[in-house]
Amino acid sequence: MNPTGTGLQRPVTRRNFIVWYLAGLLTALVVALVLPIVIFIYPPAGKSKPEDLKVTLSKPLDQLGESEAVNFQAPPSSGFVMKNGGGDNYPGKITFAGYAIKVGGAIQVLSSTCSHLGCSVSYEAAQHIFACPCHGSRFHANGTVAHGPATAPLSDLTWSKGPDSSTINIRGLSLPGVG
């Protein structure tokens, strides 16, 4: 122990000072380069939490005939969360429009996003088919593939009936700044 009580065992030389300075500078450089990469790979959790979005339909559910569909859009600054999927769609992906359709006496709510490359499909009521204008995929009224290049069906949306037959609640996210 040092009898003067300063706590230093040996004096700081120029060589020690330069070594410690360069080690600190190298450490700061490595942190500045690696930290953005780590944040990119493991992003912080978003602040948007899933919620039920109220959607008003242009035609009440109880007035839909067999294979009749009604189109709807997501409310401004929000999107619907896909329940399942395949191809370009996957569970949790966001879509901004969908269809409520009566198939086999039951109501089914589908995303309007094509499972091939994500274009918006339209419903051709005369043929009871969803058609993708981009690459020609066609889907049956229940969302299954009728003709490729799509290999996966349209995604379902998680939904529940609203207070009346022209309102449904669809699982979605608030997306501030979108739409």
pLDDT at res. 12: 84
pLDDT at res. 3: 55
* Same-domain check for residues 62 and 20: no
The domain that holds 162 is classified in CATH as 2.102.10.10
Structure tokens at 124: 């051709």
* Same-domain check for residues 75 and 143: yes
pLDDT tens for each residue of 40-83: 888 777 677 888 899 999 998 888 888 899 999 999 889 999 99
pLDDT tens for each residue of 118-135: 899 999 999 999 999 998
Residue 106 lies in a domain: yes
* Same-domain check for residues 17 and 61: no
Lowest-confidence region among 20-24, 38-42, 47-51, 99-103:
47-51
pTM over 0.85: no
- Count of domains observed in the chain: 2
Residue 179 lies in a domain: no
107-141 in b/e burial notation, b at 16+ Cβ within 10 A?
ebbbbbbbbbeebebebeeeebbbbbeeeebbbbb
